[in-house]
Amino acid sequence: MTNSDAKVWLITGSSSGFGRSLVEAVLKHGDYVVATARKPEQLDDLAQQYPETIHPVRLDVTNLQDVQAAVESALDQYDHIDVLVNNAGYPAMGAIEELSDDDIRRQFETNFFGALSMIRAVLPTMREQRSGHILNISSFAGVVSLSGLGIYSATKFALEGASEALAQEVKPLGIKVTLIEPGAFRTNGAGSSMVTPKHPITDYAETSGKMIDVMRLSHGNQPGDPAKAAAAMIQVVESDDPPMRLALGEDSANGIVQKLDAMKAELEAWKPLSISTAFE
Ligand SMILES: NC(=O)c1ccc[n+]([C@@H]2O[C@H](COP(=O)([O-])OP(=O)(O)OC[C@H]3O[C@@H](n4cnc5c(N)ncnc54)[C@H](OP(=O)(O)O)[C@@H]3O)[C@@H](O)[C@H]2O)c1
């Protein structure tokens, strides 16, 4: 049972980065967390500090049995789920031709299908409650794709597409959906979590190769603070009128606006041809 004012959060990928920062911030905020991770023992320190309000659960988001079991365990523990945060994910970097089929499929299984499975597993509960908030951690790269980021971006674009429709489907049922679009934040994303091509192709050294170098060099020096990102996510959940999209970081906020401006200018420039295609 829970104290009635506090929310119950279910967070994926709680072992490090945004996930870990968010679990810490939510606990400090006084809410309850079903903190899921592939190795939940990585949350032992928090379980000792907050024995009543954290419920660590083992969850690999690519495993459907884990997904169902995690949701059941959350409901057994706290009766309801107010906020689902689909955070588990990593970047598979490389040119479209460079990454292996296996790396590409695994990237989609985690970043897109994993999040989709979680959403589909919590929706029956949120529909019954007629309340809930789903936060999908997308990326700047969920709106803007760059060389070397094609496959990662494709997973996040997919998440954005599904989220836009989902938001419309569940709004009448009292459920909110927000896409979080971070720029460069200091997590393990550009470190041990990043996947790169096993067989780089020299022809892509100046495009995708350079991007991978930039990512590697940024590791540990990214401007974004995951603790501040966590505070921003709590603010979104506490808001009466949360946004559909929240860019995090100046790089993301400016980069997305630049892309939208360029897209709009191109659409306007080609509009006569666009609208010339109807039957007379
Ligand atoms: N950092 C950035 O600059 C940035 C920018 C935009 C978007 N993002 C997004 O932010 C999210 C979190 O990444 P992060 O930057 O915080 O990196 P991180 O520190 O590497 O954390 C990634 C988390 O995802 C978990 N994970 C990976 N595969 C999983 C799976 N199959 N099942 C369950 N958990 C899994 C990892 O668990 P293990 O410890 O078990 O590996 C880890 O807890 C990702 O969706 C990422 O795409 C990050």
Instruction: Give the Cα separation of 119 and 94 in Å (integer).
Output: 28
Nearest residue to 85 via CA among 145, 149, 21, 130: 21
35-41's contacts with Cβ under 8 Å and 24+ in sequence apart are: 35/11, 36/10, 36/11, 36/12, 36/70, 37/13, 39/15
∠ CA 34-165-122, nearest 5°, is 25
Query: Is pLDDT above 70 for 181?
Result: yes
According to the model, what pLDDT value does residue 1 have?
63
- Going from the Cα of 17 to the center of ligand 1, the distance in angstroms, rounded, reads 7
Average of per-residue pLDDT across 81-110:
98
According to the model, what pLDDT value does residue 78 have?
97
First CA to last CA distance, the chain = 65
Average of per-residue pLDDT across 40-63:
98
Q: Which atom of ligand 1 is nearest to the CA of 184?
A: 3
pLDDT 10s digits, 133-168:
999 999 999 999 999 999 999 999 999 999 999 999
In this structure, the strands spanning 245-248 and 54-58 are: unpaired
**Catalytic status, residue 138:** yes
Question: Collapsing DSSP states into helix, strand and coil, what is residue 58?
Answer: strand
According to the model, what pLDDT value does residue 139 have?
98
Q: Give the pLDDT band (50/70/90) at residue 3.
A: confident
Catalytic residue among 138, 139, 153, 163: 138
Average of per-residue pLDDT across 187-192:
97
According to the model, what pLDDT value does residue 17 have?
98
Query: At which residue do the structure tokens 């429709």 appear?
Result: 165
Question: Collapsing DSSP states into helix, strand and coil, what is residue 183?
Answer: coil
Residues 23 and 14: beta-carbon distance below 8 Å: yes
- Going from the Cα of 271 to the center of ligand 1, the distance in angstroms, rounded, reads 40
Hey, what amino acid is at 2? T
Instruction: Give the Cα separation of 50 and 43 in Å (integer).
Output: 11
Residues 133 and 242: beta-carbon distance below 8 Å: yes
Q: Residues 6 or more apart from 66 whose CB is under 8 A from it?
A: 58, 59, 60
**Catalytic status, residue 90:** no
DSSP calls for 119-167: HHHHHHHHHHHT-EEEEEE--GGGT---TT-HHHHHHHHHHHHHHHHHH
Residues 11 and 33: beta-carbon distance below 8 Å: yes
For ligand 1, atom 2, which residue shows the shortest CA distance? 185
Q: Which atom of ligand 1 is nearest to the CA of 137?
A: 45
- Cα distances from 139 to residues 145, 248, 252, in angstroms, run 10, 9, 8
Sign of CA dihedral 196, 198, 204, 209: positive
Catalytic residue among 73, 156, 204, 252: 156
Residues 47 and 255: beta-carbon distance below 8 Å: no
According to the model, what pLDDT value does residue 4 have?
72
- Going from the Cα of 48 to the center of ligand 1, the distance in angstroms, rounded, reads 24
Mutation test of ligand 1: which of 187, 211, 228 has the most ligand atoms closer than 8 Å to its C-beta?
A: 187
**Catalytic status, residue 73:** no
- Going from the Cα of 13 to the center of ligand 1, the distance in angstroms, rounded, reads 6
CATH tag for 8-277 (out of 1.10.1040.10, 1.10.150.120, 3.40.710.10, 3.40.50.720): 3.40.50.720
Catalytic residue among 78, 152, 163, 204: 152
Ligand 1: list residues with CB < 6 Å: 12-13, 15-19, 37-39, 59-62, 87-90, 110, 114, 137, 139, 182, 184-185, 187-189, 193, 222
Q: Which atom of ligand 1 is nearest to the CA of 183?
A: 5
- Going from the Cα of 189 to the center of ligand 1, the distance in angstroms, rounded, reads 6
Average of per-residue pLDDT across 25-43:
98
